[in-house]
């Protein structure tokens, strides 16, 4: 069965420091991968998806098929990046989305 793991429940970094949120998945095929973010008192929203290969709010994520990872990175963390981040996997465009347990990122001023 497909599974998404995020090893860090909590991650604290100082403003201006690099940040990396880890995501590993288990699936033998080529899945669609996403990062969703939930800011305080806001609804869950898509941050970025692998297939678009875009950078959103300075965040990027690279798919490493060999390590089955999709880590989220940003070179310089900002206070407004503090939020809950969820990695998610979808086998195909029509399949269910499987979420990881989430990582709470706190950026210290």
Partner 1 sequence: DAGVTQSPTHLIKTRGQQVTLRCSPKSGHDTVSWYQQALGQGPQFIFQYYEEEERQRGNFPDRFSGHQFPNYSSELNVNALLLGDSALYLCASSLNSRGLPDEQYFGPGTRLTVT
- Residue numbers at the binding site for partner 1 (CB under 8 A): 4, 32, 34, 43-46, 49, 51-52, 86, 88, 90, 92-102
Kindly state the smallest distance separating residue 38's Cβ from partner 1, in Å: 9
Please report how close the Cβ of residue 37 comes to partner 1 at its closest, in angstroms: 11
Closest to partner 1 by CB, 43 or 65: 43
Between 4 and 107, CB nearer to partner 1: 4
* Burial letters 57-91, b for 16+ CB under 10 A, else e: eebebebeeeebbbbbebeebeeebbbebbbbbbe
- β-pair type (10-14, 103-108): parallel
Closest CA relative to residue 3, chosen from 102, 103, 69, 98: 98
- Cβ closest to partner 1, residue 5 vs residue 12: 5
The nearer residue to partner 1, 3 or 14, going by C-beta atoms, is 3
Shortest Å distance, C-beta 23 to partner 1:
11
Task: Tell me if 22 sits within 8 A of 6, measured CB to CB.
Answer: yes
């Amino acid at each position: 069965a497909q599974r998404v793991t995020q090893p860090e429940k909590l991650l604290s970094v100082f403003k201006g420091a690099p940040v990396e949120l880890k995501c590993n998945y288990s699936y033998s095929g080529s899945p669609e991968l996403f990062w969703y973010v939930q800011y305080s008192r806001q609804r869950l929203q898509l941050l970025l998806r692998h297939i678009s290969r875009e950078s959103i709010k300075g965040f990027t994520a690279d798919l490493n098929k060999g390590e089955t990872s999709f880590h989220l990175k940003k070179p310089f963390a900002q206070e407004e990046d503090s939020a809950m981040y969820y990695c998610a996997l979808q086998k195909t465009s029509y399949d269910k989305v499987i979420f990881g347990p989430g990582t709470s990122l706190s950026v210290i001023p």
